[in-house]
Structure 1
Amino acid sequence: MGFLHLPGLGKAHFHEYGSGQKPLLAFHGYGMTGKQFHVLEKSILPKYHIYGFDHFFHGGSKLDGWTEKQIREGMPKSMVRTYMQEWFRVYGEQRFSVMGYSIGANLALILVEEYAHLIDDVLLMAPDGLSSYKGFHFLLHNPLGKFMFRKVTKSKWLAPFVLKSVRKAGFIDDNLYQIAYNEIDTEQKRLDTYYTLNLIRLLKPDVEKVATLINQYKINCLLIFGKDDKLFPKSAAMPFIEMLEHVEVHELALGHWLVIKALDEYLVQ
């Protein structure tokens, strides 16, 4: 493990694992850490040397001197370049691959925008960024949604009530409800959720540009979806998939919670 000191951001903590030689920068899902992909021990770890980054407000990554106002305004998309600039400074400019699960896919896809000429493989699981999830967009960009999100964050009872309501309305399933509930049961967790989603609110890739670059540089692309995923299903990503000349797509009988042993066994087979 180690840190990258990202100018204007702070310290990005990363975990190193995997027995392969090919460097792979990996970005986890909400509520996890850069160690999340360790479970893919038979399929991914033997092929790559993984640098699994903790998102800010997760694990050991720390913002440096950001005010709440700055966090609410969001991290400029251009700052994602600093990850690679600092990584190249430490390890030397070289070819690499990227991997992302859920919200982590946004960073992986933005790196494709910036460094496609150096990227070998793109591996995405239940990826955010290929389509817009209306619930997140409402909370992070709509004035009413932003007001409500802030009020819910500050309240002990309102957050569980809203979560139960969206489950009852069918917007999330029991699995997602349990995952989300575990992240709002304390004030600090609610604040971390609020800060995380606001910090990354501007980190949306240009999917048409990404598709063009993947085709141009013949980057290997692996996309994995859960059939019962209500957040980022395969159907929402079809416009992007149809733009690619060569892509490997898998849909498992799972929900959004994909990075588990069952996925490792599936990829091996």
Structure 2
Amino acid sequence: MGFLQIPGLGTVHFHEYGTGDKPLLAFHGYGMTGKQFHVLEQSVLKEYRVYGFDHFFHHESRLDNWTEEQIVAGMPRAMMRHYAEEWFKLHGRQRFSVMAYSIGANLALILVEEFPDLVDEIILMAPDGLSVFKGFHFLLHQGPGKRLFKRLTKSKWMATSLLRNLLRIGFIDQALFDIAYNELDTPKKRLDVYYTLNLMRLLTPDIEKLPDLINQHKIKCMLIFGKHDNLFPHKKALPFIEKLHNPDIHHVDLGHWLIVPALDDYLTKFERQEIADHLRQINQ
């Protein structure tokens, strides 16, 4: 574990784990920590050394005396560059890869935009950021939505009632409902949701520019989607995917909640099959 001091922003805490020697900067999903990817021990962690950053309002990352007005205005995109620059001060300027799950994909992809000449591989799971998610856009960027979001935060019942309705119409599954409900059942948790999403509201990658950068710099790109994910499904990302040269796309028999041992098993079996296919081609 360690800390990065980001000028004008705050202290970013990161977890360090994995037995591989290739550096992988990782960004978790909402309500988790930078240690979220520890379950991928037989696949990703054997190849990479993971540096998993905690989002603000999660675990030990802390803003430096930001007011609510500053938080709601959002963290400037330019500050994401400092994540890598400050990490370089600790570990030396070197090539690295990025990994992210859900909303963390926005942060990872901005780093790719900032350092395309240094990135080897992109691994994204159930990624946000590859298309405009209308629900988040409404709550974070449109006047009526921003007012509703603030009311949901202050109310004792509105947020949980909305979740129940989303479950009823099938927009989210029971697993996602349980996770989200657990993040909204106290005033502090609701405020943390409000602050987290608003702080990240400007951290959206340029999905028109990114495919060209990925192709130009021949960055390997693995995208993993849950077959039953209604939040960030594969079909929404198709316009982005179709612009990439040879992306490695996977559809796993899971919902949005992807970072589980079953994904580790899937990736391990896939890697073994790739090796077997390669050896078969050599021997033919």
TM range (shorter): over 0.9
Give me the whole-angstrom Cα distance separating, in 2, the residues matched to 1:217 and 1:113: 11
**Any unmatched runs of 5+ in structure 1?**
none
| Match of residue 45 from structure 2 | 45
Give me the whole-angstrom Cα distance separating, in 2, the residues matched to 1:62 and 1:180: 22
Deviation at 1:175, TM superposition (A): 2.0
Q: TM-score, normalised on structure 2?
A: 0.93
Q: Which amino acid aligns with 2:187?
A: E
Contact in 2 for aligned 1:152/1:158 (Cα 8 Å): yes
Q: Give the CA RMSD over aligned residues.
A: 0.8
Give me the whole-angstrom Cα distance separating, in 2, the residues matched to 1:157 and 1:150: 13
Deviation at 1:62, TM superposition (A): 0.3
Q: Secondary structure at the match of 2:162?
A: helix
Q: Secondary structure at the match of 2:14?
A: strand
1:38-94 Cα deviation digits (max 9, x unpaired): 000000001001100000000110001100001101111111001011111121110
Structure 1 segments of 4+ aligned residues over 4 angstroms from their partners: none
Larger radius of gyration: 2
Give me the whole-angstrom Cα distance separating, in 2, the residues matched to 1:134 and 1:174: 21
| Equivalent residue runs for 1:180-191 within 5 Å | 180-191=180-191
1:181-213 Cα deviation digits (max 9, x unpaired): 010011111011000000001111011211111
Q: Secondary structure at the match of 1:117?
A: coil
Deviation at 1:133, TM superposition (A): 1.3
| Match of residue 246 from structure 1 | 246
How many residue pairs match? The answer is 269
Q: Which amino acid aligns with 2:45?
A: L
| Match of residue 88 from structure 1 | 88
Give me the whole-angstrom Cα distance separating, in 2, the residues matched to 1:166 and 1:249: 28
| Equivalent residue runs for 1:8-157 within 5 Å | 8-157=8-157
Deviation at 1:179, TM superposition (A): 1.2
Give me the whole-angstrom Cα distance separating, in 2, the residues matched to 1:133 and 1:176: 17
Give me the whole-angstrom Cα distance separating, in 1, the residues matched to 2:137 and 2:43: 34
| Equivalent residue runs for 1:157-172 within 5 Å | 157-172=157-172
Deviation at 1:107, TM superposition (A): 0.7
Q: Percent identity?
A: 65
Deviation at 1:167, TM superposition (A): 2.3
Q: Secondary structure at the match of 2:256?
A: coil
**Any unmatched runs of 5+ in structure 2?**
270-284
1:145-187 Cα deviation digits (max 9, x unpaired): 1101101101112221122122223322222211110100111
Q: Which amino acid aligns with 1:183?
A: E
| Match of residue 203 from structure 2 | 203
| Match of residue 228 from structure 1 | 228
> In terms of mean alpha carbon deviation, does 134-143 or 28-37 score higher?
134-143
1:4-53 Cα deviation digits (max 9, x unpaired): 00001100000000011100000000000000000000000010011000
Q: Secondary structure at the match of 2:46?
A: coil
Give me the whole-angstrom Cα distance separating, in 1, the residues matched to 2:184 and 2:224: 28
Contact in 2 for aligned 1:215/1:246 (Cα 8 Å): no
| Equivalent residue runs for 1:256-267 within 5 Å | 256-267=256-267
Give me the whole-angstrom Cα distance separating, in 2, the residues matched to 1:100 and 1:165: 28
